[in-house]
Amino acid sequence: EVQLVESGGGLVQPGGSLRLSCAASGFIFGNYWMNWVRQAPGKGLEWVSRIRTDGNITSCADSVKGRFTISRDNAKSTLYLKMNSLRAEDTAVYYCTRGWGFDYWGQGTLVIVSS
């Protein structure tokens, strides 16, 4: 059974940093592109970033460019999102998703940016 389990969310002050993790199981992690998608409270979905199978190609939304970095460790079947210079508007549930069609989603981890 495919499982994606996010962790690392929490309350952080504006300007602070967090690193999210997504532990994958039930499939060959290294064979899939992976993504981060977020959803602000009461709002719609927003694609954040994606990474190729080998980690050598990444892309991200303009809203997080220069602040967020996606990475992966295929040996540990884990996806990461390092978030720096956090702003109030980054407050959201962050989901990791699999592949080109986002066919599996984790349960999400909540990030709150507030003083």
Partner 1 sequence: QSALTQPASVSGSPGQSITISCAGTSSDVGGYNYVSWYQQHPGRAPKLMIYDVNDRPSGVSNRFSGSKSGNTASLTISGLQAEDEADYYCSSYATSNTYVFGTGTKVTVL
- Residues lying near partner 1 in the complex (CB under 8 A) are found at 35, 37, 44-47, 50, 57, 59-63, 95, 100-108
Closer to partner 1 by Cβ: residue 74 or 105 = 105
CA distance 8 to 23: 11
Residue 11's Cβ-side half-sphere holds a number of Cα atoms within 13 Å equal to: 2
**Adjacent-strand bridge partners of 18:** 83
Alpha-carbon distance 78 to 1, whole Å?
16
Q: Which is nearer to partner 1, 7 or 107 (CB)?
A: 107
Q: How far is the CB of 1 from partner 1 (least distance, A)?
A: 13
Looking at beta carbons only, is 1 or 75 nearer to partner 1? 1
What is the 3-state composition of the chain as percent helix, strand, coil, each rounded to the nearest 5?
A: 5, 50, 45
Residue carrying structure tokens 């079947």: 77
- For the bound state, the minimum distance from the C-beta of residue 102 to partner 1, rounded and expressed in Å, comes to 6
CB of 2 to partner 1, least distance (A): 12
Measured from the CB atom, the residue of 7 and 17 that comes closer to partner 1 is 7
